[in-house]
Amino acid sequence: MPAARRGAGARRDRGAARAAAARGGVTRWAALPRAINAGKTLKMADLRAFLIAEGMRDVVTLLASGNAVFECDESDAEAIEDRLAAAARDRLSLDTDWFVRSHDELVAIAAANPFPDASAARPNLLMVLFFHDPVDPARLPRDHGGPERLHAVGRDLFVDYAGGVGRSKLEPAMRRAKLPPATARNWNTLLKLVAATA
């Protein structure tokens, strides 16, 4: 079952979405469910139909890992995440965490890239992990015996898998750190999401 959120003090800054709502605009969101087709099977046509049934508009899916983009009048990302998680359990028998980011948030994530050398040389190995709440740098593995670099920015964690993902010693260290649930997308996918939500 998706993990419970932290208390009200850890609620995220949704200034960008609120500003869009105040201007009378409609926010375009990216939905990133966790572990789709990497343990939890969901056809992209079914994902699109599910989101449309939930009242989302102009729904587009990207790749086969569960990425979806849509318009929604709701300006509260946490409310969207909770609603989609509950509806997916009820209607799709899919029990997983959902992570939602607005276009402005995705642009900010791309701009905050701490490893431009990695995004240029190996964009498929530069990962962004999306969390519900701000990442505590003190909980990140420090001595994991590999070349990976980690950098937390708000609710997102950049990981440069310089030696490749398959042989990485970071994954066991991340599990031992018992970080909250997250979902990962590589740099190429992030840029596609930025473009699709524009």
CATH number for the domain harbouring residue 98? 3.30.70.1280
Whether residues 120 and 99 share a domain: the answer is: no
Position 86 in a domain: yes
Whether residues 36 and 100 share a domain: the answer is: yes
Place of tokens 């699109």: 48
pLDDT at 37 over 80: no
pLDDT band at 11 (very low <50, low <70, confident <90, very high): very low
Whether residues 115 and 154 share a domain: the answer is: yes
C-alpha distances (whole Å) from 157 to each of 19, 104, 108, 186 are: 25, 17, 13, 11
Whether residues 97 and 116 share a domain: the answer is: no
Give the tens place of pLDDT for each residue, 118-136.
999 999 999 999 999 999 9
In one letter, which amino acid is 85? A
Give the tens place of pLDDT for each residue, 46-82.
999 999 999 999 999 999 888 999 999 898 999 999 9
Number of domains in the chain: 2
Whether residues 31 and 85 share a domain: the answer is: yes
Whether residues 132 and 81 share a domain: the answer is: no
Whether residues 59 and 116 share a domain: the answer is: no
Position 192 in a domain: no
Position 166 in a domain: yes
Domain edge (last residue) among 86, 106, 126: 106
- pLDDT for res 22: 45
Domain edge (last residue) among 106, 134, 159: 106
DSSP per-residue letters across 169-194: SHHHHHHHHTPPPEEEEEHHHHHHHH
pLDDT band at 4 (very low <50, low <70, confident <90, very high): low
Average pLDDT over the chain reads 88
pLDDT at 194 over 50: yes
**Which tokens belong to 83?**
């609603």
168 burial type by CB count under 10 A (0-12 exposed, 13-18 middle, 19+ buried): buried
Share of the chain above pLDDT 90, in %: 70
pLDDT at 8 over 80: no
Residue 57 domain boundaries? 16-106
Position 141 in a domain: yes
What mean pLDDT do residues 38-49 have? 87
Give the tens place of pLDDT for each residue, 87-119.
999 999 999 999 999 999 999 999 999 999 999
Whether residues 90 and 49 share a domain: the answer is: yes
Domain edge (last residue) among 106, 139, 154: 106
pLDDT at 151 over 80: yes
